[in-house]
Structure 1
Amino acid sequence: MKKTIGLIIIAIFSNLAVSMAQSPLTSVPFELYGDHVFVKIKVNNSRDLDFIFDTGDGLTVLNIETAKELNMVSGADTKKTSAEGEISGKLLKHQSIEINNIELRDIEIYETSLRHLEISIGRKIDGIIGYDMLENYVVSMNFNQMSFDLFDSKGYEYKGTGRTLPIKLTSYIPHISANVVLANGETITGEFFVDTGAKATVDFNTPYVTKHGMIDKIGDSYIYLVSGLGKKEYEHHQGKAKSLTFSGFGFENVPVGLSHAEHGIQNHKKVTGILGSGLLRKFNVTYNYPKHEMYWEKNDRYSEPFQINASGLELQLSEDMSKVMIHKVFDNSPAEDAGIKVDSELNEVSGKSAIEVGLPELRRILSESGKTVKIKVDGKSIDLKLKALI
């Protein structure tokens, strides 16, 4: 009898321990702003700071302007190689990072200018974090609830209904196997980085593009500009693939980019390309780095169409972030036909102030192929008939 009671008590405490291990240490809301996920973080007991969550970079970075506001103590100038290439900045001393009630200790934070990203994304950015969250905790990212759950990695067992994908880590970044059928019918099987910070759906890295002559294999395409943590912009070709499949998931008519970057993960020779935010937002993903696994579940965005540029405009903010500017006009596009020029100011869209609407919503509006949108550029009203570029 005593033995039976003892076994029951052991079973109760064992089940309690498993239950506690499966309860999140904390839940943190996040915001999807265009192609980027923002999470609130405190540095040295600061106010809530707006950090981009980026699985594609191994460095935690603080905006140099935010570092000045917080009176952070910095060391000597240094150059650090990150997933986005070489960056110039300073290592900050005596820092702590707190995510809700969870503190990350003994990590390195580098300060650098993020202004080029701010004017491209369209808002203030206090910093960027990724690997330092992911190596310490199991991180569950839920787009339906717009929140992260952080779990203790010890004893964690996935209980969801999604698929388990084995991952490898290269340069601190996870990558998985996927198949892409190009516009010319060619099938490519390769390894693709999983990069929440990439403004892309599927991209092929520069070495692969060069070696396999990819430009003629993606159908009609246009050229746009991209930059990462490093300030230099590189041209990208944007076209379409017939399909993308991985681990039982599949998509058709997928936007595909061809990188011409000279540095960073998009110049990686051993990994074929990148799966970016245009795809990842369609899944709730749990990252379990200690077990080298990820768990993917379809979310409410799974069936939404991919966003395609239908105006021929690439927008960014002015240097002082007070205006929306025309950064690029694509060839053979509605914008070019309307006579819109680079460095003009976009004043209004549909009667609303462009700067108040914000870049993510402007980009969504200007992707609605088949519609006619009234815009005002340098004070001149234009009826812009939208047509998808690919």
Structure 2
Amino acid sequence: MLSISQTIRVVILAVMLFPQCHEKQKLSEPLCLPFRLINDIIYVRIGINEIDSLNFIFDTGAGSTLIGLRTGDLLGLTNGKKSTNIGAAGSHPVQIFHGNSIAIGQETIDNISLIKNETELSSALLGERLDGIVGYDILSRFVVTIDYDRSLIELHDFGKYSADSSWHEIKFKKISNIPSISLAFTIDDKEYLGKFLVDSGADANMILGPSFVKDNGIMEEIHNSYSFNSRIGTSNAKTEVVITRISNMKMGKVDFRQVPLALILSNSGVFSLLNFDGILGNSILKRFNITFDYRKNRMFINPNKSIDEGFSVDCLGILFKKDKSDGKLIVQNTIKGSSAEKAGLIRGDTITSINNMDIKDLSSHELRILFRDDGSDITFEYLRSGQPYVVKMKLKALI
């Protein structure tokens, strides 16, 4: 399902591989890797084996390097060792291929194990295929700085990097090759302390897992919320999600208030296997320039130009499914009390245009911006039982 207005993209890769001892790369100068930030996800172009310029998500929540089905076929990777990937909300079968290489500019990283998904990977890139997801295989070999201000990832030699003393240092522990930090936060005047995976592949602010939610009675503490079922992670598993807000959360020296929070209620995937309470997503991380030093288990953060941006939330209230044949959006459900429900949209309605723009020409990123514009007017053209209709509505934040 494509839930554009309610999407939570969480990419956690926890394929159980034999531990690999990665030799640190030697660089005379920092290596620069430009990126695009789309729907709060980092997209880079890297080479795999002999194929250049492939679209990858750069993801600190990726403990292994994942490739999509067609990309694996393009690389000639077939009949690999069968295994299981443990994703954010469930598991799914994969194949493992050892002895590959990653190319970043003129630098090559050898001895890479690739995890081939048995389906294609979903992407916010209009007209472009997402080839894969990479994280630990780069982070383990370099000191890595993600400069969101310049849309640039810098790779530094471990022996030559010197941290800027003005940046705030945070120690982390690694869980399945993913950094984990402790964060204190408040919900309706009640304080909590949790262990959060630092996941730049999560299109979210903060996420709490089902065990933490149940053990701490979170559902009894929240008052302003809405819920829906969504498919998340590389397994595309379906799970129940509740959206609410955190009153206060502090990261480094920065206090955030009224932060959107997702509660995952289905106890499956990595939430049922790994020892952590939640996920700190890229909608928070992008507000800092961040350096990761995996050798010393530390990260450095420095507020960037996005630090004071407001937190956008869904203002429409529709779960969509995309028709693969013509690109139109089919309404699967509407959120109770939302602008969409009040306007009369129902399951099965097929959206053909928004504000006189053909739906096929709009990327998920453009739709996200439209659907989060609180107070704006929006016009939908749609089909119901083959008959055309037009509806206008004013968008209002759901929380």
Question: TM above 0.5, one fold?
Answer: yes
| Distance in structure 2 (CA, Å) of the matches to 1:382 and 1:122 | 28
| Distance in structure 1 (CA, Å) of the matches to 2:157 and 2:134 | 19
| Distance in structure 2 (CA, Å) of the matches to 1:316 and 1:115 | 16
| Distance in structure 2 (CA, Å) of the matches to 1:321 and 1:136 | 43
| Distance in structure 2 (CA, Å) of the matches to 1:324 and 1:239 | 26
User: What is the TM-score when the length of structure 1 is the normalising length?
Assistant: 0.88
Residues 217, 256 of structure 1: alpha-carbon distance in 2 compared, 3 angstrom cutoff: same
User: Residue 388 in 1 paired to residue 393 in 2?
Assistant: no
Match of 2:314? Answer: 309
Please tell me whether the aligned partners of residues 142 and 293 of structure 2 are also in contact (alpha carbons under 8 angstroms): yes
- Aligned match of 1:199 in 188, 199, 203? 203
Letter in 2 for 1:203: I
C-alpha displacement of 1:129:
0.7
Please tell me whether the aligned partners of residues 182 and 193 of structure 2 are also in contact (alpha carbons under 8 angstroms): yes
User: Residue 111 in 1 paired to residue 120 in 2?
Assistant: no
The RMSD of aligned alpha carbons is 2.4
Greater shift in the superposed pair: 27-36 or 335-344: 335-344
C-alpha displacement of 1:259:
0.9
Please tell me whether the aligned partners of residues 98 and 111 of structure 2 are also in contact (alpha carbons under 8 angstroms): no
Match of 1:7? Answer: none
Please tell me whether the aligned partners of residues 57 and 83 of structure 1 are also in contact (alpha carbons under 8 angstroms): no
C-alpha displacement of 1:253:
0.8
C-alpha displacement of 1:93:
4.8
Letter in 1 for 2:75: L
Greater shift in the superposed pair: 59-68 or 371-380: 371-380
Match of 1:187? Answer: 191
Please tell me whether the aligned partners of residues 55 and 196 of structure 1 are also in contact (alpha carbons under 8 angstroms): yes
Letter in 1 for 2:222: I
- Aligned match of 2:143 in 120, 123, 138? 138
Match of 1:210? Answer: 214
C-alpha displacement of 1:318:
2.9
Greater shift in the superposed pair: 262-271 or 43-52: 262-271
Residues 23, 76 of structure 1: alpha-carbon distance in 2 compared, 3 angstrom cutoff: closer
C-alpha displacement of 1:123:
5.6
Q: SS at 2:266's partner residue? A: coil
Please tell me whether the aligned partners of residues 81 and 97 of structure 2 are also in contact (alpha carbons under 8 angstroms): no
User: Residue 329 in 1 paired to residue 334 in 2?
Assistant: yes
User: Residue 233 in 1 paired to residue 242 in 2?
Assistant: no
- The unaligned stretches of length 5 or more in structure 2 are 1-25
| Distance in structure 2 (CA, Å) of the matches to 1:302 and 1:58 | 28
Residues 157, 259 of structure 1: alpha-carbon distance in 2 compared, 3 angstrom cutoff: same
C-alpha displacement of 1:300:
1.3
Structural mapping, 1:1-390, within 5 Å = 23-24=29-30, 26-81=31-86, 85-115=90-120, 117-118=122-123, 124-159=129-164, 161-183=166-188, 185-224=189-228, 225-267=230-272, 270-319=275-324, 322-378=327-383, 379-390=388-399
Of structures 1 and 2, the one scoring higher in RCO (CA 8 A, sep 6+) is 2
Tell me the alpha carbon deviations over residues 221-255 of structure 1, each in whole angstroms, 9 at most, x when there is no partner. Answer: 11132410112121110001111113221111110
| Distance in structure 2 (CA, Å) of the matches to 1:195 and 1:288 | 15
Greater shift in the superposed pair: 65-74 or 248-257: 65-74
Please tell me whether the aligned partners of residues 98 and 112 of structure 2 are also in contact (alpha carbons under 8 angstroms): no
| Distance in structure 1 (CA, Å) of the matches to 2:59 and 2:272 | 18
Q: SS at 2:73's partner residue? A: helix
C-alpha displacement of 1:94:
4.3
Residues 52, 114 of structure 1: alpha-carbon distance in 2 compared, 3 angstrom cutoff: farther
C-alpha displacement of 1:383:
0.7
Greater shift in the superposed pair: 281-290 or 91-100: 91-100
Letter in 1 for 2:393: L
Please tell me whether the aligned partners of residues 122 and 316 of structure 1 are also in contact (alpha carbons under 8 angstroms): no
Kindly, what percent of the aligned residue pairs are identical? 26
| Distance in structure 2 (CA, Å) of the matches to 1:112 and 1:380 | 40
Q: SS at 1:340's partner residue? A: coil
Greater shift in the superposed pair: 331-340 or 111-120: 111-120
Which one has the largest radius of gyration? 1
C-alpha displacement of 1:101:
2.0
Residues 143, 91 of structure 1: alpha-carbon distance in 2 compared, 3 angstrom cutoff: same
Letter in 1 for 2:395: L
